[in-house]
Chain A
Amino acid sequence: METLKIEASIDTPTVLFDFEKGYFELSGKSYPEDTLEFYAPILEKINEYAINPKEKSHLVFKLIYFNSSSYKPILDLIRKMEEIKNMNKFVTIEWQYKTGDTDMKEVGEEFAEVVTVPFSYATF
């Protein structure tokens, strides 16, 4: 699958999905005017990847901010990783947050509780 790269805009994040390397990254801010319009094609790609995933997949979140309606597509991405893990693949999720942003760290921990994929945390 060809790498999916979407440059950030003022209200949408940078998306870098390198399917060959099994590396997925979402960074920046996410509060699109139309959440569905932005995330539907991205989720479609990850669903396609999940049919025949690589041995190792690594999902990185490096978000400064996301709004309440971006929560669902983020959760969908995380759940998709869980699905891949259940296919006996090696999956890790890295949750990065701005130094001192304890709210953002907390949301990461909330996501981590929902799945069995191991989360690691780091600040940027």
Chain B
Amino acid sequence: MAKTGDIFSLIDWMRFLEEENIVMSFKGEFNQELINAILLLSSNKENLNEQSNVIRNRIFSIIVECLQNICKHGADDESRSEIKPGIILISKEGHTVYISTGNLILNDEVDLLKEKINHLKGLNSEEIKALSKKTMLTATLSAKSGAGLGLITIAKKSKKIDYEIKKINEQISFFSLEASISTLVN
């Protein structure tokens, strides 16, 4: 970000957000209160306020699953527990809404996560529905449910998911997940 003189040049930042069609962005430490605030903000956004209940619910659902995943499974750079650093960015281009989230994960968890997402990426929508149903029926009620169900739900509600994992150091990596949703009812 360009700094001119002593103050932060926000006009460049504004232009960037506009050029990239970014509707909302937030970087910080996530907890349930913040998730609720983000959900409230996003549902009040004119360009996200879809007329169709099913599309509105899909957007809501993906935001919840992504952010609760960060709260439940995200790592932190030190050893604080309750709050997890992360980022969310929502953009809209034509009839597609993109929800991107990023957070830290432990390097030990990278392989399993990759395996889970690659598997989901290889399934068509009917196969995802079947997997979702099967997983849900065998799920157990626990305080910290597996991220599997959350990821499956994200895949089920979106048109496409993609991800990137970048190693930061010997302990942690940065995990980015992008889910796109078509605003055209199918």
> A114 an interface residue at 8 Å Cβ cutoff?
yes
**Cβ of B136: which chain A residues have Cβ within 8 Å of it?**
68, 71-72, 75, 110
> B36 an interface residue at 8 Å Cβ cutoff?
yes
> A31 an interface residue at 8 Å Cβ cutoff?
yes
B122-149 residues at the A interface, CB under 8 angstroms: 133, 136-137, 139-143, 145, 149
Per-position binary interface string of chain B over residues 36-71, scored 1 when its CB falls under 8 Å from any chain A CB and 0 otherwise: 100000000000000011100110110011001001
> B118 an interface residue at 8 Å Cβ cutoff?
no
> A58 an interface residue at 8 Å Cβ cutoff?
no
**Cβ of B141: which chain A residues have Cβ within 8 Å of it?**
35-36, 39-40, 69, 72-73, 76
CB-based nearest B residue for A39: B141
Quick one: given A10-B36, A31-B68, A33-B32, are A68 and B53 in contact (CB under 8 Å)? no
**Cβ of A100: which chain B residues have Cβ within 8 Å of it?**
52-54, 185
**Is the pair A31, B64 in contact by a Cβ cutoff of 8 Å?**
yes
Per-position binary interface string of chain A over residues 15-44, scored 1 when its CB falls under 8 Å from any chain B CB and 0 otherwise: 000000000000000010111110110000
- Among listed A49-57, A81-89, A101-109, interface-contacting one: A101-109
**Cβ of A102: which chain B residues have Cβ within 8 Å of it?**
54
- By secondary structure, the A interface counts as helix
**Is the pair B60, A110 in contact by a Cβ cutoff of 8 Å?**
no
How many residues of chain A have a CB within 8 Å of chain B? 29
**Cβ of A33: which chain B residues have Cβ within 8 Å of it?**
31-32, 71
**Cβ of A64: which chain B residues have Cβ within 8 Å of it?**
57
> B152 an interface residue at 8 Å Cβ cutoff?
yes
> B150 an interface residue at 8 Å Cβ cutoff?
yes
CB-based nearest B residue for A102: B54
CB-based nearest B residue for A97: B53
Distance in angstroms between the alpha carbons of A102 and B58 in the assembled complex: 11
**Is the pair B57, A101 in contact by a Cβ cutoff of 8 Å?**
yes
A86-124 residues at the B interface, CB under 8 angstroms: 98-104, 110, 114
Cross-interface CB contact of A11 among B32, B65, B137, B149, cutoff 8 Å: B32
**Is the pair B137, A68 in contact by a Cβ cutoff of 8 Å?**
no
**Is the pair B150, A68 in contact by a Cβ cutoff of 8 Å?**
yes
CB-based nearest A residue for B60: A65
**Cβ of B61: which chain A residues have Cβ within 8 Å of it?**
65, 67
23 pairs across A/B with beta carbons < 8 Å?
A11-B32, A33-B32, A33-B71, A35-B145, A37-B143, A39-B141, A40-B141, A65-B60, A67-B68, A68-B65, A68-B136, A68-B145, A69-B150, A71-B149, A72-B136, A72-B141, A73-B141, A100-B53, A100-B54, A101-B54, A103-B54, A103-B58, A114-B137
Q: Report which B residues bind A (CB closer than 8 A).
A: 31-32, 36, 52-54, 57-58, 60-61, 64-65, 68, 71, 133, 136-137, 139-143, 145, 149-150, 152-153, 157, 185
